[in-house]
Amino acid sequence: MPVDLALNQANPQQFDALLLPGGVISPDKLRMMPEAVEFVKAFFDAGKPVAAICHGPWTIIETGYVRGRNMTSWPSLRTDLRNAGANWTDEEALTDGNLVTSRKPDDIPAFNRALNNLFSRAEKSSQTRRAA
């Protein structure tokens, strides 16, 4: 898909949720970019929903928000996540508070269900706040 907004132009306050991609290259590059890590951290700071699949949790490690979290990922990230303080489990999709994680492309149906559930709860909460 073509990029329609550069990271340096994106404001986390203008987004309701964040989906971190899988694969090896994108997450590895993102975690090495301080502005990308700060963008992701802003979602956690605000309590907004975040979803990550495959290697996507690498970027979350850099935010400091994995400690004490129940998470899953591509199997090779297990040690990285545990070393950062996460409780790693081998599951299709795992929800912990405002975070959904998943392992691999085969898990996309389960990941989508969990992601839709989390994002829709956040949307309802956001609508309630606006109505109050």
58-116 pLDDT, tens digit each: 999 999 999 999 999 999 999 999 999 999 999 999 999 999 999 999 999 999 999 99
Active-site option among 48, 55, 69, 103: 55
What is the tens place of the pLDDT at every residue in 110-128? 999 999 999 998 766 655 4
Residue 86 lies in a domain: yes
What is the tens place of the pLDDT at every residue in 8-41? 999 999 999 999 989 988 899 999 999 999 999 9
Residue 47 lies in a domain: yes
Run of H or E including 94: strand 93-96
Show Cβ contacts of residue 1 under 8 Å, excluding neighbours closer than 6 positions: none
Residue 105 lies in a domain: yes
Residue 57 lies in a domain: yes
Count of structural domains, the chain: 1
For residue 129, pLDDT beyond 80: no
For residue 53, pLDDT beyond 50: yes
Report the CATH number at residue 38.
Answer: 3.40.50.880
Residue 84 lies in a domain: yes
Residue 2 lies in a domain: no
Eight-class DSSP state of 92: S
Residue 70 lies in a domain: yes
Residue 1 lies in a domain: no
- pTM value? 0.90
- Domain residues for the domain of 102 are 7-131
> By C-alpha distance, which of 58, 16, 59, 19 is closest to 35?
59
Burial of residue 108, with CB atoms counted within 10 A of its CB: 0-12 exposed, 13-18 middle, 19 or more buried = middle
Rounded CA-CA distance 1/52 in Å is: 18
Q: Is 55 a catalytic residue?
A: yes
